[in-house]
Structure 1
Amino acid sequence: MTELAEALSQDEAAFAAEVGRVRASGTLGEGGRLLELFDFLAGRGGNKPSASQAEIAEMVFGQTEAGADDATVRVYIHRLRKRLEEFYAAKGDAPDGSRLTLPSGTYALRLVRAAGEPETEDAIQSSRRPLTLIIGLVAVAALAAAFFAGWAVPWRDEAPPANALWQPFIDSPRPKLIVVGDYYMFGEIDSVSPERGRLIRDFRVNSPSDLIQMQDLEPERYGNAEDVGLNYLPFSVAYGISGIAPVLAGGGSQVSVIAASELEPDMLNYFDVVYVGLFSGMALLEDVNFMDSGFQMGESYDEVLDKASGKTFTSGEARSLASPAYYSDFGYIARFRTPSGALVAIVAGARDTGLRGVAPIVAAPRLPGDLDKIARKGDFEALFQITGQQGADLAEKLILARPRGD
């Protein structure tokens, strides 16, 4: 037997021994889909390429028509990863220091020896995944929006002119942080029928720490919830960021992009912040913005209330999107300075039509009408009515523009 063949044989034996140890422990139960998933992955060995979601959906769950992005598979993979972590926390590594892992982003069992081994590229990429994924989605979405709208790719040699909204950002020495409104999702596992697990978006739960808090406060409602590492972005964010990013970058400052769920309060001590997204995705910035605003959210994120007049502006996109009828959505722009000295700009929509409608307004060389004059004087906010039809933004109208704090 060659040295290579002998090494492979030893690896296979060590893999099989560790599979047997985990299985015999009862950590995965005496039966059920979780154990079946483990056996399926173990049967493939420790050196085969990652299985696909479609393979697992068909071979383990009998879902021959499952889509390429099947939530059931992701939920069970997440649960199996957690069970393995619990097993090794309780039982320790194998005598040779090895353990079975499910590397993030893969559907394959791997035998790793943690002691003294360098971190693999898979592990490095896994540790960066939440922020890298968001930034990647934003970049792809922005370029896609530019392509479909017929715009030039915005990151060009000559920066576009900055209008009155952005000029204070260009003049500021602080690095710039573009915050995109993302949505955290968690899984809910049915202990009796785990295959009925589902993904949930709950506006009260915007991060893994929020989920832990709600599990403590309302265990009867959130007791079966699990963090599955999922966030998503509205596509309309691309329309805003593709116009804003090149303007901010033109000032020569560092420009970074993170998700709203990643924003921490102390970041306002070091960065100027620009939010691009829907009202419902603002997270921490919702309180920061509306604390001194003349507006407030209504009974839902579809409603914006003007405190001075008492008038409520309600988006009609959700009720009219499927029909050819015209409807009104609303876009919001604001700029203000926080007590920590950070400049903050908000470019938001009640729904996608509103955000798409205000995106070209904020990226234009000059703000429209009186808004330009108000923006040159200091902190301000403005509300636009965007006429839409089946998701398309057709026309915009400035409803209200005023200095902040008035």
Structure 2
Amino acid sequence: MTAKQADNPTFLLPEKVFNSAELEQLVGRIKDSGELGRSRIYAALLEYLVQCSTVGKSPKEIEIAVEVLGKDSGFDVSRDSAVRVYVHQLRKKLDSYYQNHEPDATHRIVIPKGQYAVAAIDTSKPIEQKPAGLLAGLLKSKTGFSNSLLAATALLLLVNLLVFLLPDGNRGDSAAMQTPDASIWSSVMDDDLPIMLVVGDYYIFGELNEQGSIGRMVREFNINSRDDLEERHFSDWEATHKYQDLDLSYIPEGSAYALARIIPILGASGKRLNVTMMSDLNTTDVRENHIVYLGYISALEKLSDIVFAASSLQVGRSYDELLNLQTGRYFTSDAGLPEEGQQFRDYGFFSTFPASSENQVIVVSGMRDAGLMFTAQALSDETTLTELEDLLDKTASGEQPSLEALYEVYGVDRTHFDGNLVYSNNPDPDLKWRQELTEY
């Protein structure tokens, strides 16, 4: 069985490429890699599809539902997309396996789109490549999702970021030309270690309508990854069976403003600037780069423990609240849902500290957009940067600064217009790494 599709490699029967022992070992390596996640369903589905392919069987959707998912024979595949969702996810997990574990494999097993079967491909044949570049790190979408507003926003972001990153001797009035001498920024600019810009993002997924297509996009605060969504599928299938992973995330509006303020500063270093979403950050990234985080406090996720490990501030009853452990004072934002024309209060948070003797972490954050935007402005303004420099502990040994600050910001209609410093501290940087950063 072979098939040729335009712009795709030739699909081969697995036994044409692998003998039974090799195929069994390959399936074992994929299962042991962890790429299939915590769910047992994906391992069972992979084994089932491989077994079917080796005997020349192309199973029907209802057969997979009954034999793999444990559904009864009355399961209505026309109204429930569970099988299609699992096969779609397994297809992506196989891609991830080869990308992360066997990138040089001469042959791979894949699940051709529109089929419930495992096939083999020759990787020496030309395969359509995904677009690369800075935008791929900022807007994470691997589904081919088409939306004119998204496309326009993406294009606008790309154009602006490229303008800021490209060297231009005529931009003498840019923030990049004014701020590199500040030790807060020079701590990540005056060496050869690369800088990784981490953007706080939020996982979103699709909800299927009665026709089986995506009816709307959904954000739930307790579902923050594909694995979380899978767990919800298994624990509450009745309520979540229409939810479908689209491998999408979004960033708040304030992050775009913060990017426009901070990227010129980092670009002035002349260093390689890597960009990633928080959801894609890993331990190796933190160890091998200076880290500059832009986003909401609630999206700190993997960095949250080390950011607050030595801090006198702790997240309160929600991410819209910080508690000063020394004074007992609460700092609470009411910028979440302000009414039109109503004044609101928000908070912006800044932190910088050495993650090790080699690299530095800088956090430009806020509870909501106003706080984030004000903090980004403060970190790119010569006057406020000088004020922050004066707060650094000049008696601390070493050249890596350790400082955190909180700004109280007032605004109307989601626009910040005034803010002032209400808290600062020089945390002990040695305390940061009492929290193990090895579990993600």
TM over 0.5: yes
Corresponding residue number in structure 1 for 2:423: 400
Q: Distance in 2 between matches of 1:144 and 1:358?
A: 24
Q: Distance in 1 between matches of 2:259 and 2:268?
A: 14
Q: Contact between 1:182 and 1:231, CA under 8 Å: does it hold in 2?
A: yes
Q: Distance in 1 between matches of 2:282 and 2:61?
A: 44
In structure 1, stretches of 5+ residues that fail to align are 1-6, 9-13, 36-74, 87-96, 103-107
SS in 2 for 1:244: helix
Corresponding residue number in structure 2 for 1:360: 377
Instruction: Give a deviation string over 1:269-317, Cα, whole Å, max 9, x none.
Output: 2111010000111110111101111111111111111111111111111
Letter in 1 for 2:325: K
Corresponding residue number in structure 1 for 2:172: none
SS in 1 for 2:269: coil
The 1:399–1:143 alpha-carbon spacing in structure 2 relative to 1, beyond 3 Å, is farther
The 1:145–1:302 alpha-carbon spacing in structure 2 relative to 1, beyond 3 Å, is farther
Partner of residue 101 from structure 1, selected from 112, 116, 132: 112
The 1:142–1:330 alpha-carbon spacing in structure 2 relative to 1, beyond 3 Å, is farther
Q: Contact between 1:384 and 1:396, CA under 8 Å: does it hold in 2?
A: yes
Matched, 1:81 2:88: yes
Q: Distance in 1 between matches of 2:135 and 2:257?
A: 24
Corresponding residue number in structure 2 for 1:165: 184
Q: Distance in 2 between matches of 1:233 and 1:132?
A: 9
State the Cα distance separating 1:268 from its structure 2 match: 1.9
The 1:331–1:288 alpha-carbon spacing in structure 2 relative to 1, beyond 3 Å, is same
Q: How many residues align?
A: 328
Corresponding residue number in structure 2 for 1:116: 122
Matched, 1:180 2:199: yes
Q: Contact between 2:135 and 2:158, CA under 8 Å: does it hold in 1?
A: no
Corresponding residue number in structure 2 for 1:313: 331
Instruction: Give a deviation string over 1:238-259, Cα, whole Å, max 9, x none.
Output: 1111221221221222111100
State the Cα distance separating 1:226 from its structure 2 match: 5.1
In structure 2, stretches of 5+ residues that fail to align are 6-10, 12-52, 66-74, 94-107, 142-149, 170-175, 395-400, 430-440
Taking the TM superposition and a 5 Å limit, the aligned residue runs for 1:132-281 are: 133-134=139-140, 140=155, 142=157, 153=164, 155-158=166-169, 159-161=176-178, 162=180, 163-186=182-205, 199-211=217-229, 214=231, 219-220=235-236, 224=241, 227-281=245-299
Partner of residue 388 from structure 2, selected from 368, 371, 395: 371
Q: Contact between 2:58 and 2:117, CA under 8 Å: does it hold in 1?
A: no
State the Cα distance separating 1:349 from its structure 2 match: 0.7
Q: Contact between 1:181 and 1:277, CA under 8 Å: does it hold in 2?
A: yes
The 1:269–1:368 alpha-carbon spacing in structure 2 relative to 1, beyond 3 Å, is closer
State the Cα distance separating 1:200 from its structure 2 match: 4.3
Q: Contact between 1:179 and 1:276, CA under 8 Å: does it hold in 2?
A: yes
The 1:259–1:76 alpha-carbon spacing in structure 2 relative to 1, beyond 3 Å, is farther
Instruction: Give a deviation string over 1:361-386, Cα, whole Å, max 9, x none.
Output: 11123435642212474310100011
Instruction: Give a deviation string over 1:15-37, Cα, whole Å, max 9, x none.
Output: xxx9x9565875587651579xx
The 1:227–1:170 alpha-carbon spacing in structure 2 relative to 1, beyond 3 Å, is same
Q: Distance in 2 between matches of 1:261 and 1:124?
A: 19
The 1:325–1:129 alpha-carbon spacing in structure 2 relative to 1, beyond 3 Å, is closer
State the Cα distance separating 1:145 from its structure 2 match: 7.3
Q: Contact between 1:154 and 1:242, CA under 8 Å: does it hold in 2?
A: no
Q: Contact between 1:324 and 1:390, CA under 8 Å: does it hold in 2?
A: yes
Q: Distance in 2 between matches of 1:403 and 1:24?
A: 60
Partner of residue 407 from structure 2, selected from 371, 374, 384: 384
Q: Contact between 2:252 and 2:369, CA under 8 Å: does it hold in 1?
A: yes
State the Cα distance separating 1:154 from its structure 2 match: 5.8
Corresponding residue number in structure 2 for 1:333: 350
Q: Contact between 1:100 and 1:110, CA under 8 Å: does it hold in 2?
A: yes
Q: How high is the TM-score relative to the length of structure 1?
A: 0.66
Please say which of residues 165-174 and 77-86 is displaced more in the overlay: 77-86
CA RMSD of superposed structures (Å):
4.5
Letter in 1 for 2:287: N
Q: How high is the sequence identity, in percent, across the aligned residues?
A: 24
Q: Distance in 2 between matches of 1:119 and 1:238?
A: 39
Q: How high is the TM-score relative to the length of structure 2?
A: 0.61
